[in-house]
Amino acid sequence: MKRAGVRILLVEDEVEVAETVSDLLTALGHEVAVANDAETAIKLLREVPPFQVLVSDIVMPGLSGAELAMEARRIAKDIRVVLTSGYSASVVESARREVPGCCYLPKPYSMKELSDVVEACLGRSDPVQTQAIPTGGA
């Protein structure tokens, strides 16, 4: 049984990728707001009704996705975090150490993988079965 969609803040500096992922999340029944940089994302986190999930690229100009995730948790302590990246394992491991308890989704990913990791991040499914990669912590 599908659950109700959630409010997701998507942060992706590549506009075409942001549009595609936003469309995928919307098709999955979620309400999506898009920011193309961390500064805009922080503004949205402070000004609009609460988001349940932050989906962010790790490597972006300005603040990294990990830095954004930590700030997002200061603003909305219960927000769930999914970090994405097509970069090397060292970049990912560094972000994972900085943001305990987040999930990670390697790029490129399918609609099913995106859905699975969001569900796992929300605690609605088993991360092992969905291939979401939780990073430990809270």
94 is a domain residue: yes
Pairing of the two strands 133-134 and 103-106: antiparallel
pLDDT tens string 103-124: 988 889 999 999 999 999 988 6
- Residue span of the structural domain in which 97 resides: 7-126
CATH at residue 42:
3.40.50.2300
Whole-model pTM: value is 0.85
28 is a domain residue: yes
Distances (CA, A) of 11 to 20, 54, 107, 126: 12, 8, 14, 25
63 is a domain residue: yes
81 is a domain residue: yes
Between 1 and 33, the more confident residue is 33
pLDDT tens string 40-81: 999 999 998 899 999 999 999 999 999 999 999 999 999 999
Amino acid identity for residue 79 in this structure: I
134 is a domain residue: no
135 is a domain residue: no
Pairing of the two strands 53-57 and 31-35: unpaired
Name the domain count of the chain: 1
pLDDT tens string 20-41: 999 999 999 999 999 999 999 9
76 is a domain residue: yes
| 8-30 mean pLDDT | 96
Q: Residues 21, 12: contact at Cβ < 8 Å?
A: yes
**Model confidence at 137: pLDDT above 50:** no
